[in-house]
Amino acid sequence: MYTHILFPTDGSERAQLALRHAIGLAKAVGAKITALHVVPEYYPPVYEDSGPFDPEIEARFEREAVNRAGRFLSQVTDAAEAAGVRSDAMHVTSYHTADTIIKVAEEQGCDLVVMSSGGRTGLASLLLGSETKKVLAHIRIPVLVCK
């Protein structure tokens, strides 16, 4: 039924719960999993009193974000390996998480996305929206949303 599952992760507890579903499904149908973490782009402060741009701050932000991505992605590949599921992992730097998830799913030839529901609640959810909702609204392949 499914041969290639995209699993976007933010390393959250909800993502860890969704990972169990992704691994179980992949094992049951013999699918491969591609883990994805979207690394946020660095935007320097643009306030009048923020001072001059410091390239070291940007470099440190990027190093820490890539290190964090590595930790999140290894959680997925380690779990897949333990279950005997083929997997690979990638991180992409982008400010547009949902668009990136959709683009990667298409480029990698994925036939299912398994993802957790968003972690935002209350006002943050209203103002910022849900990446999961954005993916659901625009993607052309099936999505399994785990709560």
Mutual orientation of helices 97-107 and 131-138 as an angle, nearest 10°?
A: 40
What is the rounded distance in angstroms from the CA atom of residue 144 to the CA atom of residue 117?
10
What is the rounded distance in angstroms from the CA atom of residue 125 to the CA atom of residue 122?
5
Q: Are 40 and 65 in contact (CB under 8 A)?
A: yes
DSSP 79-128: HHHHHT--EEEEEEE-S-HHHHHHHHHHHTT-SEEEEEPP---HHHHHHH
Is the pLDDT at 125 greater than 80, yes or no? no
Residue 55 confidence class, pLDDT cut points 50, 70, 90: confident
The domain defined by 4-46+62-146 carries CATH number 3.40.50.620: yes
What is the reported pLDDT for 128? 46
Overall average pLDDT of the 32-51 stretch:
80
| Per-residue model confidence as pLDDT tens digits over 61-120 | 899 999 999 999 999 999 999 999 999 999 999 999 999 999 999 999 999 999 998 655
